[in-house]
Amino acid sequence: MFDLFNLSEILTKAIAKPDVAPTPSEVVYTENRLRVLRYIPKGKHLYKVPLIIVNSLVNKYYILDLMPGKSYVEFLVKQGFDVYMLDWGVPEEEDSIVTLDDHINRYLVNVVAAVLEKSGAKKVSIIGYCMGGTMALMYASLHKRYLKNLLLLATPIDFDNESTLSLWGKRENFDVDKFVDTYGNVPVEVLKSAFMMLKPLKNITKYVDLLENMHNQEYVKTFLAFDYWVNDSAPVPGETFRDFMKATYQTNSLIDGKMKLGRRAVKLENITCSLLNVVAEHDDIVPLSSSTPIMNLVRSKDKELLQVKGGHHGLSIGPSAIKTVWPKSAEWLSARS
């Protein structure tokens, strides 16, 4: 029988904001809505090459700094890395005109320049997560001189795959021009609804799981923090969404080298830096058929594929992340930093 007192306590906690993004940091760069956080080191930095984390535009940055003990950032800082986080911020109505080209050839270029100036280094390492990884690949193709190492987490590359998102995003199923012309920025409600429809029953069963584990304080804390993050989405600038959808889900031009940002073609074969591609076996958002092809498209001599158990978010806070992804990626980075 469920303990109604504990259930009441859980619901009370659910109303309050959980202690997310706990790792101490300072803002070292801002531009428009974005800001760059530098995490306060725990002792001396062991590695000279600074590490920049590039997140998706859809969700907030702190999934990789969710809570104490469930924070990739916290782990990396303790390992001696000089860690910087790109927080894209929350776009306003006037930001609907910001393009994908702006994000790659202006924002990312300026962020890397700011980190290099702050750290005194000549090159950086980048960790790209989900859509942030795809954007990091675009940057790496066009600006490889500043990039030493690239680590991808659950990153889509081939968008012609068996996933539901791929089906929904096809030109015959989704008029992205009409959508952006109507809404401007992509509304948070649309983004949340789309991801909820990927696993509609999970929105019910997750609360059953919570009730069954309500005596496990660690489970409850993680549930509340993750659920808060899931619902703390941000709109995506309309023109960026239009550009991204057409280049990926609707033409898959990133794969064949026909995608352009400004006047330059984004060719993945230009990428020669060290590459670690981390993928999840049961990722329903970025299936293996989408994430693994990069291994044959870059010209990096030093490249490695790490495949682990779990789903999309298992690479950020799941058991596979804590036991395998975090220590393996830190080992890989340390040997190259």
Name the residues annotated as catalytic.
130, 283, 312
Phi, psi for 226 (deg, rounded to 5): -65, -40
Using CA atoms, how far apart are residues 87 and 161, in angstroms rounded to an integer?
29
Q: Give yes or no for a contact between 48 and 73, defined as CB atoms under 8 angstroms apart.
A: no
- What is the length of the chain? 337
Any idea what the Cα angle at residue 75 is, between residues 73 and 78, rounded to 5°?
110
Task: Describe the strand order of the beta sheet including 83-87 as a list of residue ranges.
Answer: 25-31, 34-39, 83-87, 51-54, 124-129, 147-153, 274-280, 303-308
Q: Assess contact for 152 and 133: CB atoms under 8 A.
A: yes
219 class by beta-carbon count within 10 Å (0-12 exposed, 13-18 middle, 19+ buried):
middle
